[in-house]
Structure 1
Amino acid sequence: MSDSRTAPLSDLPRAWPFEEARKLAEHVSTRGNASGGDDARPALLETGYGPSGLPHIGTFGEVARTSWVRQAYTALTGRPSRLLAFSDDMDALRKVPDNVPQRDMLEKFIGQPLSRVPDPFGTHESFAAHNNARLCAFLDSFGFEYEFASSTAYYASGRFDAALKRVLEVHEEILDVILPTLGAERRATYSPVLPLHPRTGEVMQVKMDAMDPVAGTVRWTDPSTGEVFETPVTGGHAKMQWKADWAMRWYALGVDYEMSGKDLIDSVRLSGRICKILGGTPPAGLTYELFLDEQGQKISKSKGNGLSVEEWLRYAPPESLGQFMFNQPQRAKRLYFDVIPKTADEYLAHVDKALSLQAENPAGAELRANPAWFILRGQVGTEAASPVPFGMLLNLASVANAETPEVLWGFIRRYDAAVSPETHPMLAAMVRYAVAYYADFVRPAKTFRAPSEQERAALVDLADVLRGYEAEAADATTLQNAVFEVGKRHAFEPLRSWFGCLYEVLLGQKEGPRFGGFVALYGVRETIALIEAALLRDRQD
């Protein structure tokens, strides 16, 4: 097993998780954190979650990407690791979400820790517990391996006590880092320590009047009543302001790796400085880009211009969502419905390649660089493959006006009698997704255009050529070559404009599959009828 501390980057599988795994391995070999610099303990990777809302597509992306780094780290070093899904459930409720019941009831708990806010759904002991349960169910549904951690539980149990006392020892140094980043009004009341009000339970954002690092207490004044309190920072009686909290957690737990979005670059830098002040080593990590909508605008929950996990999974399998997250995490990507078919087919293509690589060399670097190797957690099997691309199924659904999966299966069985939902479960899933996507997106957008005279002549020629294959079982490659030759014979320039004609005139859309494969699946006789119907429609119009 190669050791990433000495192996040059050029020797690693060419996939970004392996580059990140090397950074992690180097961090582990040199760390000097609260664990005493022990590089034998499991590497600790962390993801964060704010339970004021439900898990979303960004949550999936961060956990999936971190899991892939962990997978690469294991393959690279053979060393153990842990993934901690940390919920900041001691944070205060800042505002009432729009998508919950009993909003008036929640208004009474503004400023309270989320773990003390009643559950508006009435199913759990707190709002945080409800959303934490949803997080775990969400992650479990994708088969992620992780350990759940609650901020409230860690504070209350004393896991952070030593680190919190250390914060009091270096309080002024932390202020020197944070205060220059704040406005004048915020500077006047800022403290990295947030005591919980002993009467109201509110998370207090007030300046500390005094602190005792030995006793582990802070003294502060209630701005509403003028009353002075002395509060222990230990045992869950106080929490940290979030940038300082992040740093304290890295220090206390010895976090080795945590990735975060581009919008948190400054926060990562500040938290890293605070972690060093405490005596720890900031974790290695990756800064990933944020998602954009169809117009290239940043996705915002308030604008509602995003795409939810549930929406994606209505039209494509979870593995395809993994493919989207795997692709170039440091490049901004547009996340909208039109990317789903392309991403699904990209995933299927990687599965086919991975199966071939696995047969050639199961331990090879090229296989481990394949996205399917990560998405399938190293278990690349034929059940993940589909002999028919998703885009092809969409086009078949379009010309057949498929309302049910059975319509598509009629064509598929004629194309290959050995294929069935039982033998090809991924194809069965893709058929269901294709029918749903066709109904919601393809059918409403279908727009046929009339052919030009050049195109009409070529279509007549293509129909005649295809008649020569009615009596024989021509394969997709033979049919594709025949279509290609017709385009060349009629001098289409560039030649791709001939295929554009086929998509727009016959299928009513701008793009489509390899047309020879479509003919093989749909049927030669049926394709001839499709051409004749288009030519007749043009004359009638």
Structure 2
Amino acid sequence: MERKPHHVHWADITADRIIKQRGDKDEYVLASGITPSGVVHFGNFREVITTELVARALRDRGKKVRFIFSWDDYDTFRKVPANLPNKEELEKYMFRPIVDTPDPYGKEESYAALHEVNFEAQLKKVGVDLEPVYQAKKYRAGDYKEQIKLALKKRKEIRDILNEYRKTPYGDEYYPVSVYCEKYLTDETTVIDFDGENTITYKHNKHDYEAKINLDETSLVKLPWRIDWPMRWAYEKVDFEPGGKDHSSQGGSYTTAKDIVKIFDWQAPVYLQYDFVSIKGLGGKMSSSKGNLITVDDILKVYEPEMVRWIFASYKSNVDFAISFDLDVLKTYEDFDRQERLAYGVDQGNEKKTNMAKRVLELSQLSEQPTKCPIQPSFRHLCNILQINDMDIVAAKKEYASQILDERDERRFNERSERAIYWIENHAPDEFKFRINKEKVETPISDDVRNYLNELVSFLESNFDNLKDDKELHEKMYEIMHAHELKPVDIFGPIYQLLISREKGPKLAGFIRTIGKDRVIKLLS
């Protein structure tokens, strides 16, 4: 497919803005991050994919990009999520660093690592390549020692910036750090003095304990989020980082970070707000405390990897949207296939829509884009084919044998089939599901309908193999129906009962042809 410099997508517009505002550089640093306090859900993925799409746009412009992802695993473990084993054991680690909290499943070296390893593996499945930065290691290596000292020396300036947006202002007691107690290990502490050089005095809030620690000799001191974020912008020389609605509101963490970063002798990176993403068709609101979060892996059970990228790339970053698990899954697949055909020139559209379809599809690829449009088995029809073949992908593939021309077609068919099966078994409405009866079923049928069926069976025995298309069979069924002075309501219900023991089903003429001559005649006779 022809490739040109792009300026149509929001990722391209943002890349151009970064180059313009930050100047022509050898390398641009893009950042994203999260605290691994629980399962990393697909809503967090929007921040990552937003950054990754901008990184791709920069690379398409011949720019070198460093995409860092900060795991804030030196944050405090503040809540035990629901649906976890060994809760009593986890509660012993409340208010200690997440990185020191054990994995309740015993798989990884820590609770933090459990979520880090899982999310990083999920990102690889959707083609996201980044450089993870583990903040606990950075703090414990003393990498931020001088920045912590600087924040303490500039504490009144930082306090005044924060107070501009606080209902209850901080007083002279404010210190821009938290301390993990060396004796009780938690951050339930209060700093009561800084000597102006390198020594902090703190006390534990729940125990009669007070101590001094030397900043040059300890790693127990950490900057809180509103100071830590801009400090890392300066430390990593970040050029771009997006933020959610919560950070972007007036007085939010981005508002204060823009000023605090100047204390660390840097400027706020180019910023892009992204909106929230929701789920449609699962019922109930996602909640960390309830443990019913949806992950990227969950999305991948229903949508192909390229489609997951395509869904996020299709919406402007500041537009909220929902990912469907209900019947709208069919529409999402139809929309994707339509846009893919438009991008490849299979379908025609105006220049603006075609260029956008091409660019979104490029940004959706896991690797090199195919030169021709891959096979597009209609998701709706594929669901029917799979159910007719008792969910046997190999058997269902025979229906598409002439369309599967290469390895990419093979992967598309297999991935789409696996997702269709999962969706049918877990999310499709009951009226969408069926199984072809193995043997004839007994169902009350009037003499008029039985005569109709006998004539239909006779026609199928003689003409099934010569039918040109579904329309020909459909018209013949109606011709016989009118000859017997019957109505659609008289015949369709009984036929579906005989075939699948349901009142309704897929469009009947095509359904009969897909089931096959022998099975249909056996069940209708």
For structure 1, the residue ranges without an aligned partner over 5 or more in a row are 1-10, 30-38, 358-364, 449-459, 488-497, 537-541
In structure 2, distance between residues paired with 1:378 and 1:294: 29
Displacement of 1:369 in angstroms is: 4.8
> Matches of residues 210-289 of structure 1 in structure 2 within 5 Å?
210-212=194-196, 215-223=197-205, 224-225=207-208, 227-232=210-215, 236-265=219-248, 266-289=252-275
Does the 8 Å contact 2:82/2:291 carry over to 1?
A: no
Find the aligned partners of 1:130 and 1:305 in 2 and give their Cα distance: 17
Q: CA deviation at 1:250?
A: 0.9
Question: Which residue is 2:140 aligned to?
Answer: 156
Aligned position for 2:159: 175
Which SS does the other structure have where 1:287 is aligned?
strand
Instruction: Provide the rounded CA distance (Å) in 2 between the counterparts of 1:410 and 1:152.
Output: 54
| Equivalent residue for 2:44, pick from 59, 65, 70 | 59
Q: Which residue of 2 aligns with 1:393?
A: 382
**Distance in 1 between residues matched to 2:361 and 2:337, nearest whole Å:** 8
Counting only pairs closer than 5 Å after superposition, residues 73-152 of structure 1 correspond to structure 2 as 73-75=58-60, 77-152=61-136
- Bigger shift: 60-69 or 116-125? 116-125
Q: 1:15 aligns with which of 9, 12, 21?
A: 9
* 1:195–1:233 CA contact under 8 A, matched in 2: no
Distance 2:411 2:423 in 1: 18
- Alpha-carbon contact 1:373-1:380 (below 8 Å) kept: yes
1:185 and 1:231, CA in 2 relative to 1: closer, same or farther beyond 3 A?
A: farther
**Residue 47 of structure 2 aligns to which amino acid in structure 1?**
E
Where do 1:36-51 residues align within 5 Å?
Answer: 40-51=25-36
Partner in structure 2 of residue 405 of structure 1: 393
How far did residue 510 of structure 1 move?
11
User: 2:175 matched to 1:194?
Assistant: no
Counterpart Cα distance in 1 of 2:253 and 2:472: 57
Task: Indicate yes or no: 2:335 matched with 1:346.
Answer: yes
Whether 2:320 is the aligned partner of 1:332: answer yes
Cα RMSD (Å): 4.4
Distance 2:504 2:246 in 1: 36
One-letter amino acid of the structure 1 residue matched with residue 417 of structure 2: V
**In structure 2, what is the equivalent of residue 494 of structure 1?**
none
Whether 2:309 is the aligned partner of 1:322: answer yes
Query: Offset of 1:290 from its aligned partner?
Result: 1.1
CA contact (8 A) 1:250 1:282 kept: yes
Relative to structure 1, the CA distance from residue 117 to residue 307 in structure 2 (aligned partners, 3 Å threshold; closer, same or farther) is closer
Structure 1, 309-318 or 253-262: larger mean CA deviation: 309-318
Kindly report which structure 2 residues correspond to 1:359-370, keeping only aligned pairs within 5 A, or say none: 366=355, 369-370=358-359
TM-score by length of structure 1 reads 0.72
Deviation string 1:191-217 (CA, Å, 9 cap, x unpaired) is: 3211232323322552442341xx344
Identity of aligned residues (%): 22
| Counterpart residue identity of residue 149, structure 2 | K
Residue type of the alignment partner of 1:323: W
Residue of structure 2 equivalent to 1:492: none
Moved more, 113-122 or 303-312: 303-312
Q: Aligned partners of 1:319 and 1:420: how far apart in 2?
A: 18
In 2, Cα distance between equivalents of 1:297 and 1:267: 29
Q: TM-score if structure 2 supplies the norm length?
A: 0.74
Identify the residue that residue 429 of structure 1 maps to in structure 2: 415
Structure 1 residue 388 displacement after superposition: 1.7
Could you tell me whether the CA contact under 8 Å between 1:394 and 1:435 is conserved in 2?
yes
Equivalent pair of 1:101/1:121 in contact (CA under 8 Å) = yes
How far off its partner does 1:59 sit?
3.5
Between 258-267 and 220-229, report the one with greater CA deviation: 220-229
Partners of 1:272 and 1:256 in 2: CA distance: 13
1:380 to 361, 369, 372: 369
C-alpha spacing 1:47/1:438, structure 2 compared with 1 (3 Å)? same
Change (3 A) 1:59 1:480: farther
Structure 2 stretches of 5 or more lacking a match? 347-353, 435-452, 479-487
Conservation of the 8 A alpha-carbon contact between 2:374 and 2:409: no
Structure 1 residues 222, 445: closer, same or farther in 2, change over 3 A?
A: same
Alpha-carbon contact 2:38-2:288 (below 8 Å) kept: no
Contact persistence 1:394–1:434 (CA under 8 A):
yes
Contact 1:93–1:110, Cα closer than 8 Å, also in 2 = yes
Q: Deviations over 1:435-461 (max 9, x none)?
A: 33223343623499xxxxxxxxxxx9x
SS in structure 1 at match of 2:202:
strand
Q: Is the 8 A contact 1:291 1:298 kept in 2?
A: no
Q: Secondary structure at the match of 2:240?
A: coil
Distance 2:54 2:16 in 1: 9
Specify the code of the residue in structure 1 equivalent to 2:365. L
Q: 1:121 to 1:380 in 2, by over 3 A?
A: same
Instruction: Answer yes or no: is the 8 Å Cα contact 1:316–1:430 preserved in 2.
Output: yes
Q: Could you tell me how far apart the structure 2 residues matched to 1:218 and 1:408 are?
A: 70
Deviation at 1:22, TM superposition (A): 1.8
Q: How many Å separate the matches in 1 of 2:345 and 2:71?
A: 41
Question: Displacement, 1:43?
Answer: 0.7
CA distance in 2, matches of 1:233, 1:276: 24
Distance 2:334 2:258 in 1: 40
How many residues end up aligned between the 2 structures? 470
Contact map agreement 2:234 2:264 (CA 8 A) in 1? yes
Letter in 2 for 1:245: D
Taking the aligned partners of 2:504 and 2:296, their CA distance within structure 1 comes to: 27
Amino acid at match of 1:404: D
Deviations 1:351-383 (A, max 9, x none): 4444449xxxxxxx9378532211115621169
Q: Which structure would you say has the larger RCO, counting Cα contacts within 8 Å and 6 or more residues apart? A: 2
Q: How does 1:300-315 map to 2 (within 5 A)?
A: 300-302=287-289, 307-315=294-302
SS of the equivalent of 1:349 reads helix
Following the alignment from structure 1 to structure 2, what is the Cα–Cα distance between the partners of residues 201 and 392? 59
Q: Deviations over 1:168-198 (max 9, x none)?
A: 2321111112235446498796532112323
Work out whether residues 122 and 297 of structure 2, in 8 Å CA contact, stay in contact via their aligned partners in 1: no
Please tell me the residue identity of whatever aligns with 2:134. Answer: S
Once the 2 structures are TM-superposed, how far is the Cα of residue 13 of structure 1 from its aligned partner?
A: 3.0
Give the Cα–Cα distance (whole angstroms) in 2 for the partners of residues 380 and 510 of structure 1: 41
Partners in 2 of 1:71 and 1:225 — Cα distance?
A: 54
**1:442 aligned onto 2:428:** yes
| Alpha carbons 1:347, 1:372 under 8 Å: kept | no
Give CA deviations for 1:78-132 in whole Å, capped at 9, x if unaligned. Answer: 1101111110011111122324332222222211112222333334433223333
